[in-house]
Every structure is written in structure tokens, then in C-alpha cells.
Amino acid sequence: MRKLLTGSEAVAQGAGEAGVHVAAAFPGPVAGEVVAALRRGGTVRCELLPSEQAAVELALGAALGGARSLALLPPGGLEAAAGALQAASCSGGSGLVLVACDDPGARVARAGDSRLLARAAMVPVLEPADPREASAFVREALELSEAFQTPVVLRLTTRLADSAEAVEAGPARATVPRGQRVETVLRALPAGSPSQRARALERLGSLAAHGWDTPLNRLEMRSAQVGVVTSGLAYGMVREAVPDASILKLGLVHPVPTGLVREFAGRVHRLLVVEELEPFLESELRAAGIACEGKDRLPRTGELTPALLAHAFGAPPSSPRAPEPVAERPPELCPGCPHRATFQALKRQHVTVAGDLDCAHLASLAPLSTVTRAPGAGAPVAVAAGLEAALGGRIAGRAVAVLGEDALLHSGAGALAVAAAGTGTVVLSDTCPAWEGGAAPGAPEPGHHAPGRWRVDLESLVRSLGVASVRTVDPLDLAGFGAALHEELARPASSALIARSPCVRLRDGARPPMRVDPARCNRCGACLRLGCPAASDGLEAVVIDPAVCAGCGLCAQVCRSRAIGPEVRS
């Protein structure tokens, strides 16, 4: 039976068909979508973890127990899990596949190339070109992992994960874990490092030889004038841009089968390498003495397009007229998001704010323009403490870290235990209502990166880390939250404000939308400076779209003309 599946859904389909027993994920884009599809299938046990490293470590434990397992990581997640990947490589990791996603266009994460991390850990990398291959490559990666006793990285891109294609879908297969095999830990210790490295190099040599015959790598001979070595989504673009070129399509991109490439290079007059982001394949080929062209013609940033490739090849574009450029639309906080209230109060205090990469980082954009740095999940606490350590009294009490419950459990708790000895203020966003285990009523799929998946007593946790003052406030009460924030900033000791208000997607019951009385509105723009998508500037007064407004009432609190309310005032 054929199904129309996105790349994310195809990975879940392939996992079910391959008999995957456990999937561990740090939820976010792509990874959360795979988990949602796996849960609909119902044959794979899914575990959500508060960090990428914990997800890889749990999947490694399942693999060591004899179960086929997946570690699902959002874009950029392999960088945070590099230590766990190295440990999995040293431990064998048979039956373990890490599904890593890169984002060349930097649409949802910073652009990074997971192939470089896999090369450093000496583990193989498979790269599918479409959803059909994404499904099939899950099984191929698991078989490769078991045959060579190594974890395997399956590299996706966000565009591939969002692309859809008709995929041949078979029945899910339930498996029983084989049981653990007890081994010596010597090879994971420093004393076993030389022999472990020798084994890893030998394994890579065997994998490179395997690349000669594996159907994962495919040779398509056409014209002998131009030959292209490519992989992943770029393969389809090369076929569209230069249909007459001969192509060596690599599915196993690390280790690079240099012998196969050398044979291919001998059959064409000009060899090009087409890949997104870093010149990974190109560097490997040049190191092997194979002359080729690549990043001297193609950019190292952004996504490739058929028009760009046609220009690089010197061929006329397939389309006679280039499409008009589409204006970029920056991301924004949802209408009614409690983060908007939090950052409005922080903006009034004129403080330096470090935020995590959850919804909070959107406050770095206009008109809120509050977050000055967003280094990563869990990092804001340490960054704010570092600012205080460097600048001392010049910034004491004026550096604020804002992070969610996710980021606190990810890595922020350790930094908070140290920062508690200072005078900084931490704002913890708790946007999920209290619930016990399972899923909150009406909770979104794991792809929505909302806090609250790991229910903890935030007040007790923060106090146990040594923070002097802990207060819980509703951020949608702008005056009350602002007053509490002012008091905590003036406190000569560490403090934490827990901003507790449910995410608009989890809020029980609809609130009446706000309306504007045109007779009272003086178009001062105070409500527009909140950056709410529901409000816009009309000809005579500000207009609030009732179909978009979530009824949070924040605009009414900042309106000095008293022109905004749930109903028009007479």
C-alpha cells in the first residue's frame, strides 16, 4: 500500500517496518514530528528526554539491551549530543541509529553540518534523498549498525523532513530485545583508547570497502563531459538543473568510498561535488588526491536551488523567467502568549536579558527587542552569571536570565546552583498547567516545543539549588509582575521569578476577544509595540482582529486611553 508521507513520517514508517523497539527523543522540530507519527503507529515505545545527550544515552542503553533503537534529535541536536555520540561509538552501539537533522536554510535552528561531528566520532553516515529513501534507509542503517557494531547517523535536512512523497508502506514488525551482553569497560577507559581507535579505523576501512558494492551508492552514467558526486536532497536538484550530467549518488556519505569515486572520476572529463553546507565530500576527495570542483563555485551557506546549480554548471536555467523573490516573514510569538507579557515587563526595566532557544528567543526581534543574546538551551543562567563575574558592580542586578522548564532541566540547573551565590535574577517560564504524568489535556504534539513535559515542582527545585528568593507570579498581570520584577532586581541576593501562565495552546476555555473603541483611541501605538499579530494600525484607530485575538488583555493593560476592552466602552 502506498501512502503520502513527509520525510519525518517516512522515518517513523521505516522504524516500524524495521522492528525498532525504543525511540528516545529530545522534542522539537522534526524529532517531535517523528515521535508523533510513531505514537500513531503504536508499535514503538517512545521516550521524551530533557536534553539531546540524555536521548542518545537512553537509546544507547536500549541498544546495549539488545533492542533496535533510535535517538531522534532536532536540528542542531547532534552538536549537543556529541559527547554521547562518542560514548556510543566506544561502546559498540549495535542496533543504534541517530536521526540527526540539519537546517541549511537556518529556518528553525542555526545552520550546522552533522557530518563533521560523525567524522570526529568515527561513525558512518547515511543521507537519503527523498522520503522514500528516508523510510528505507532506517532499515539499512540498523542493518549496517548490527553488521559493523557501530552507531549510525541518519542525516536529514528540514526541507527533506517537510517534503512529501508516495511511499510504499508495509506492516509494522514487533521485535523482542535479545538481552544484554556483558563486556569489559576497558576499551572505554584511557588505557583502552589506543586499541579502540585502531578498531574504529579498521571499521571505517571496512565500511569504505563496503561502499563499493552497497546499493546505497548508485552510479548513473550519461554524458562523459561532466560528472557530479552528490548526496541527499541535492541529488534531485542536480538532475533538474543538469539532466545530461553523469551522477555518482552517495547514500553512504561517511566513510567516503574514495575508490568508487576515483573510478567514476576516470570516466568523466570534469568532476564536480554538490553538497549543502560544508565541503565535507570535497575535502575527503581532495585529501585522497582526486581533483574536483565544489565550493569554489557553490556557497557554503544557505540551501541549494536548481537555478543556482544551473548557474554553477554554466547551463541555462530550466525556467525562462526567474520567480519573483518572496519577502521573508519573521517568526513571532502567538497571540495571547504569556512570554509577550514577560518581556514587556523586562523591557520596562531596561535590563540585559539572556534567553534560551525556546519561544523566548523570539523576543530578540522588534518590536519587543528585549533578548540581547540567546546562546542555547540552558545556557542563559551561566551567561548572565558570566556577565556579572566580568563586569561586577557595573551590571550587578541588571543581568536577567530567562528560560523555560525544559531548558532548566536540560542544563540550566547546574549553572543555577553556581549562580545562586551571586545577585542575578532568573525568570523561569512555566507555561504548562499542573498535570501528573502522561500528557496534559489538549496538549500539542511533541513537535510544539512547550514546557511542561517533565512535571517538576519548580519552586522546590529552585530553592534546593540555593536561590535566596523564589516567587511565583502571573505574567499576564502586567502591573503585578512588573512590581515583583522590580523588587527582585533590587534584592542584593539571587532571586527567581516563576512566570506561571498556561501556554495559549493549552489554555482551558476561550476568552472573549479584545475590541477597540475608535472614539477613545488616539493611535499612540502602545498596544502595537507589544508585537501581537491580532492588532494592526487602521485609518482612524487601532484594529484588533477578533478571529486572531486570544483575549489575554495585555493590550488593554498598556492602553492609557482606556480604549481597549472585551467590549466597547460607551
According to the model, what pLDDT value does residue 322 have? 54
Residue 555 CA to residue 165 CA, distance in Å, equals: 44
Average pLDDT over residues 86-107: 89
Is 423:491 a contact under the CB 8 Å cutoff? yes
Q: Are 269 and 224 in contact (CB under 8 A)?
A: yes
Question: For 6-46, what is each residue's pLDDT tens digit?
Answer: 999 999 999 999 999 999 999 888 999 999 999 998 889 99
d(CA 405, CA 107): 24
Has residue 419 got a pLDDT over 70?
Answer: yes
pLDDT of residue 567: 67
In the predicted model, what is the mean pLDDT of the chain?
87
Q: Long-range contacts: 105-111, Cβ < 8 Å, 24+?
A: 105/158, 105/159, 105/302, 105/303, 106/302, 107/158, 108/29, 108/74, 108/75, 108/158, 109/29, 109/74, 109/75, 109/76, 109/158, 109/357, 110/76, 111/277, 111/301, 111/302
Would you say residue 246 has pLDDT above 70?
A: yes
Band (pLDDT 50/70/90 cuts) for residue 447 is very low
User: What's the rounded mean pLDDT across residues 196-214?
Assistant: 89
Site of grid cell 544515552: 57
Q: Identify whether the C-beta of residue 43 lies closer than 8 Å to the C-beta of residue 68.
A: no
Digit-coded pLDDT (tens) for 174-200: 877 877 765 545 455 554 566 777 888
Cα–Cα distance measured from residue 296 to residue 21, given in angstroms and rounded to the nearest whole number = 45
DSSP 448-494: S--S-SS---HHHHHHHTT-SEEEEE-TTSHHHHHHHHHHHHHSSS-
Tell me what pLDDT residue 178 has.
79
In degrees to the nearest 10, what's the CA dihedral of 258, 261, 265, 268? 180
Q: Is 134 helix (H, G, I), strand (E, B) or coil?
A: helix
Q: What is the pLDDT of residue 451?
A: 38
Predicted pLDDT of residue 183 = 58
* Among 237-241, 439-443, 564-568, the least confident range: 439-443
pLDDT tens track for 488-522: 999 989 999 999 998 888 776 678 999 999 999 99
CA dist 131 and 111 (Å) reads 21
DSSP alpha helix (H) spans, 288-396: 306-313, 338-349, 380-391
Q: What is the pLDDT of residues 296-345, one digit of tens each?
A: 889 888 889 888 888 887 765 555 455 566 666 778 899 999 999 999 99
Predicted structure pTM score: 0.86
Residue 569 has pLDDT above 50, yes or no: no
The DSSP letter of residue 251 is S
Domains annotated on the chain, with CATH = 2-213 (3.40.50.970), 218-313 (3.40.50.920), 338-500 (3.40.50.970), 515-565 (3.30.70.20)
Q: What pLDDT does residue 392 have? A: 83
| pLDDT given at position 182 | 57
H/E stretch holding 519 reads none
pLDDT of residue 422 exceeding 50: yes
Q: What is the pLDDT of residues 71-82, one digit of tens each?
A: 999 998 999 899
Q: Do 509 and 556 meet the contact criterion of CB atoms below 8 Å apart?
A: no
- Is pLDDT at 395 greater than 90 in this prediction? no
Q: What is the number of residues in the chain?
A: 570
pLDDT of residue 503: 86
119 pLDDT above the threshold of 90? yes
pLDDT at 504: 86
Set of cell numbers at residue 454: 517533565
pLDDT in tens, 142-170: 999 999 999 999 999 999 999 999 999 99
- Tell whether the model's pLDDT for residue 429 goes beyond 80: yes
526-561 pLDDT, tens per residue?
999 999 999 999 888 999 999 999 999 999 999 999
